[in-house]
Amino acid sequence: MVTFTVKVTRPASNKLLKAVSIDVAGTTNAQKTPSFGDDDTSLSQEFQLEPGDNYTITVTGPGYLRTQAQNVTVSDDGEITIALKSVWFSLHTDRDRDGKIENDDDTPAAINGLSPAAITFGVDGVGAIIPVNCNRDGNNTAIAYSDCQDDKINSDEDLLTGLSRMKIVRHSAGEAADVDANWVIKLSVEPTGAENPAEQHVRIFSKAGTDATELVSPQKGKTATLDAANINPTLVLPLEMIRFAGEDFESGTVKITLSVIQPEYAGPDTPSYTFTEQVVAAKWVANHHLHQVTKLLVTSDSFNEKFIATLETEVAKEPSGPSDLRYDILKSIQKQVLIPYLDTDKWTVAKPSADVMSPDQWMRDTIFSGYSSWPGTAGNHKSQTTFIKMHRQRELQNWVFGDLLSKDHAVYYPAAGSGDAVNSANSGGNFEVTPPVKKAGGNTYPLGRIYYGHSAKNRLGANSTLRKSRHKIDESTRSFIAAQALQYPIELDTDWLAVGHVDEMMTFLPYPGGSDNKKWKLLVASPKKAYDLMTDKRAENVIFGGAKVLQRPKWDTDHFNYTPLKLHNTVVSCTINDLLGNGNAPLLAPNGYAYTYDLLKGWNVGGVEKAIGDNIDILKNEFDLEDDDIVRVPVIFYPSDHVSGGHAYVLPSTDKVDNTKSRRNGFNIFPGRGEGFKCGALTADMPNMFVGNTQLYIPKPYGPWIDTGDEGTSFDLFEKYLKDEIAKFNGALSCNFIDDWDHYHACEGEIHCGTNEIRQPSQTDEKWWAI
């Protein structure tokens, strides 16, 4: 045996690929697998061989072309030098989020590794952010389908604004050489955890052009084989996310792997080396009331022409400028639209579970306004108005998918095709957003926090199985909101409300004079405030006890005429004296009993006020909220629905408004609890308003009308109180009280329920990944 040395050299420019395999075949067969040092351009490997003159020495390695020396003579202590040629491929994404994919800046940290090791956010955050391409560029996709729900790049505009890019780069070092014809290059996707297959979440196209085909998608599968000849020197691959983070995709992340198979080195099925990039779906962010309104949305039909005309007049008061508030009348299309969703590996359509052709004025309940944004070129970013379609099946969903979904407006439906129940809690009026807030001594939430009503906590305790609540939000939408991990949701209790929406009890207003994390005030409905105002007014002068409530005043030469208002086809007009405890109320309780105004008062002040107060306490526990931050708005409620406890139900003493008294046919039971009532607004619910940029569009409450005998000085007591409170905001907001009684309030909604908007977030808020 003699010692024979094989010296292997690599090009000086290649310091990434280190492993090689040296095979010696002849009288003696041997194989060794040394590696280059980090900065070495050569290595030497000794073999103990029998002398001979017919040896074949083969050197292979990840990214190295197979190199052979044949008929090598081995005698004494000889040496041979074999120079390798290097051709290798790498995968690049916009990992540093500067909108560019540079070969150097975005080179993966290590071969056969995951880059980045974790998706992070903030100033130094890493990991490419991929848009969810859920708008509709042009008309080349089928109606109701967004761009990410078909198998093509839909236009040059789609390519430019709706897709991200990644790049495969071919590197050569040393003497120029062609790729070995046996090499196979594959691109594949995998989930980052126990989630649905990654190909259900992302689509990768073959090239940057409208004639591109799918490489990876739900239909094509998770793996594609690439032609190495097309990678010279680079191959740019557009990609889009099909889904936002959500149910069965909680992380929002996907691993994309480039695998190079060199059969001569590792066999026909094993990659010689890989590069894996971890990417994340762009987030969806809900708008809050500090974002500027640029468009107000409202349905229009013959039933609300007067309301529309008034609203249009008030909107004209908004100042013009770059964020000019434009007024849009939206006609609901009459054709029923079937909604597409992904069923494992194919697109299908969801058939509504109910008639979706009936009249529907509830714009707020149909969609949730927000945006999605992601890094763009030259340090800029791209942003897309994106509406969340709520899990609600009414006529307006035809308009959402047949008209609203467009180049300028993206639509995403988290619960499409799910088995989640459709109920009132899923509606958009049950989802709102705080402005930026901070928890005392804790976290700051610069994008605000989403809050919604959800009966996760059941107030019936041991008897919880007896309540069948409608106020459970569908799991798909809740999972979607939680998975965005930006506006951490707060669960409130709306089980005491018949409709069950958070916009019935509170809203946030801009307050420019506040501190950095308190540029807002919280408005909450308050029966106690309503009764206190009436009590004080009557105490001021007994004549005001006769002030008319729930009546439309109209000046006629030298006096007011009044039109009584109705709820459920029953006249509900009354006076301050009545509401403070005089006689019987005109409506029957939902359990069929008549009730007095005195019972109504006690139930409002002792019961409804506590239900609202309990929710304020929840908010106080979630962020820095003090009583000075709250404006209590006069609203009187009435019992709208009965809550059955069942035949065996035993009322806990803690559920009584006054434990020394009987149930009083439900009026001594806290709203929402067994054998009690759920609430509707009797006077119009002023917190259920539309918040503009400088104007507030508030439902006219028809509270006590204080008739001074003069048209100019007479006033609505509840209106005046709120207007005076808003005036303390240093003139930042003006109040516009609009009559919405007949077509909104009497149908269990208000102005906020019947409107929606597009808002323009700040540049800082759009770059959520850097916050």
DSSP secondary structure, 203-242, as one string: EEESSSSTT--EEEBTTTBSEEEE-GGG-SSEEEEEEEES
Kindly state the DSSP code that residue 361 receives in the 8-state scheme.
-
Distance CA 97, CA 127 (A): 7
Distance CA 70, CA 82 (A): 11
Upper half-sphere CA count for residue 68 (Cβ side, 13 Å):
7
What pLDDT, in 10s, does the model give residues 656-697? 999 878 888 889 999 998 889 999 999 999 999 999 999 999
- Which helix (DSSP H) or strand (DSSP E) does residue 528 occupy? helix 527-540
Distance CA 446, CA 767 (A): 12
**How is residue 254 written in tokens?**
């996907």
Contact 314, 695 (CB under 8 A): yes
| Mean pLDDT, residues 330-341 taken together | 69
Closest Cα to residue 704, out of 715, 693, 692, 713? 715
Contact 260, 88 (CB under 8 A): yes
**How is residue 511 written in tokens?**
């307050």
Distance CA 20, CA 599 (A): 89
Q: Which residues of 498-533 are buried (b: 16+ CB within 10 A; e: fewer)?
A: bbbbbbbbbbbbbbeeeeebbbbbbbbbbbbbbbeb
Q: Kindly report the number of other CB atoms within 10 A of residue 767's CB atom.
A: 18
Rounded to 5°, the CA angle 398-401-404 comes to 105
Kindly state the DSSP code that residue 246 receives in the 8-state scheme.
B
Closest Cα to residue 360, out of 403, 331, 337? 331
Q: In this predicted structure, what is the pLDDT of residue 456? A: 53
Contact 603, 610 (CB under 8 A): no
The reply to whether omega before 586 is within 30° of 0 (cis) is no
**pLDDT surpasses 80 at 238:** yes
Q: In this predicted structure, what is the pLDDT of residue 326? A: 42
Kindly state the DSSP code that residue 351 receives in the 8-state scheme.
P
Residue 320: which pLDDT band, with cuts at 50, 70 and 90?
low
Residue partners of 655: CB distance under 8 A and separation at least 6: 459, 669, 670, 673, 674, 676
Residue for token pair 């509606």: 427
| Mean pLDDT, residues 19-32 taken together | 94
Q: In this predicted structure, what is the pLDDT of residue 355? A: 58
What pLDDT, in 10s, does the model give residues 77-95? 899 999 999 999 999 999 9
Q: In this predicted structure, what is the pLDDT of residue 385? A: 97
Strands (E), 568-636: 570-571, 574-575, 630-634
Closest Cα to residue 67, out of 41, 90, 86? 86
Is residue 233 classed exposed, middle or buried when 0-12, 13-18 and 19+ CB atoms within 10 A define those classes? Answer: exposed
Across the chain, mean pLDDT equals 91
What are the start-end ranges of the H helices in 350-487?
363-366, 396-399, 475-484
What pLDDT, in 10s, does the model give residues 347-362? 888 766 655 656 788 9
Look up the CATH architecture of domain 2-84. Answer: Sandwich (2.60)
The reply to whether omega before 446 is within 30° of 0 (cis) is no
Q: What is the CA radius of gyration of the chain?
A: 34
Contact 389, 366 (CB under 8 A): yes
Q: Kindly report the number of other CB atoms within 10 A of residue 67's CB atom.
A: 17
For CA atoms 301, 302, 306, 309, the dihedral sign is positive
**How is residue 577 written in tokens?**
């004296």
Look up the CATH architecture of domain 286-539+587-770. Answer: 5-stranded Propeller (3.75)
| Mean pLDDT, residues 287-311 taken together | 88
Q: In this predicted structure, what is the pLDDT of residue 739? A: 97
Distance CA 374, CA 764 (A): 12
Residue for token pair 């009764």: 531
Rounded to 5°, the CA angle 687-486-291 comes to 45
Are the folds of 88-282 and 286-539+587-770 the same?
no
381-389 and 367-375: which strand pairing? antiparallel
User: What does each C-alpha distance from 650 to 147, 195, 504, 704 come to in angstroms?
Assistant: 55, 44, 30, 39
Contact 278, 119 (CB under 8 A): yes
**pLDDT surpasses 90 at 386:** yes
3-state secondary structure of 587: coil
What pLDDT, in 10s, does the model give residues 401-460? 988 999 999 999 999 999 898 889 999 999 999 999 999 888 999 999 999 999 755 544
What pLDDT, in 10s, does the model give residues 734-756? 999 999 999 999 999 999 999 99
Distance CA 183, CA 49 (A): 31
3-state secondary structure of 275: strand
Amino acid at 420: D
3-state secondary structure of 550: coil
**How is residue 518 written in tokens?**
């308190």
**pLDDT surpasses 60 at 174:** yes
**pLDDT surpasses 70 at 13:** yes
Domain assignments of the chain as residue spans, ordered by start: 2-84, 88-282, 286-539+587-770
**How is residue 202 written in tokens?**
């992302």
**pLDDT surpasses 90 at 151:** yes
Residue 469: which pLDDT band, with cuts at 50, 70 and 90?
low
Rounded to 5°, the CA angle 325-507-533 comes to 115
How many angstroms from the chain centroid is the CA of residue 571?
A: 42
Q: In this predicted structure, what is the pLDDT of residue 766? A: 96
φ and ψ of 150, to 5 deg: -135, 180
- CATH (one of 3.40.120.10, 2.60.40.1700, 3.20.20.80, 2.170.8.10) for 88-282: 2.60.40.1700
Contact 58, 66 (CB under 8 A): yes
Q: In this predicted structure, what is the pLDDT of residue 352? A: 67
What residues are paired with 594 via a beta bridge?
none
User: By percentage, how much of the chain surpasses pLDDT 70?
Assistant: 93
3-state secondary structure of 441: coil
Residue 325: which pLDDT band, with cuts at 50, 70 and 90?
very low
Residue for token pair 């908007």: 757
Residue 399: which pLDDT band, with cuts at 50, 70 and 90?
confident
Q: In this predicted structure, what is the pLDDT of residue 336? A: 75
Closest Cα to residue 258, out of 64, 66, 113? 113
Q: Kindly report the number of other CB atoms within 10 A of residue 124's CB atom.
A: 8
Distance CA 105, CA 121 (A): 18
**pLDDT surpasses 70 at 330:** no
Q: How long is the chain?
A: 771
Residue 468: which pLDDT band, with cuts at 50, 70 and 90?
very low
Kindly state the DSSP code that residue 396 receives in the 8-state scheme.
H
Q: In this predicted structure, what is the pLDDT of residue 647? A: 54
Torsion of CA 452, 453, 457, 460, to 10 degrees: 170
3-state secondary structure of 258: strand
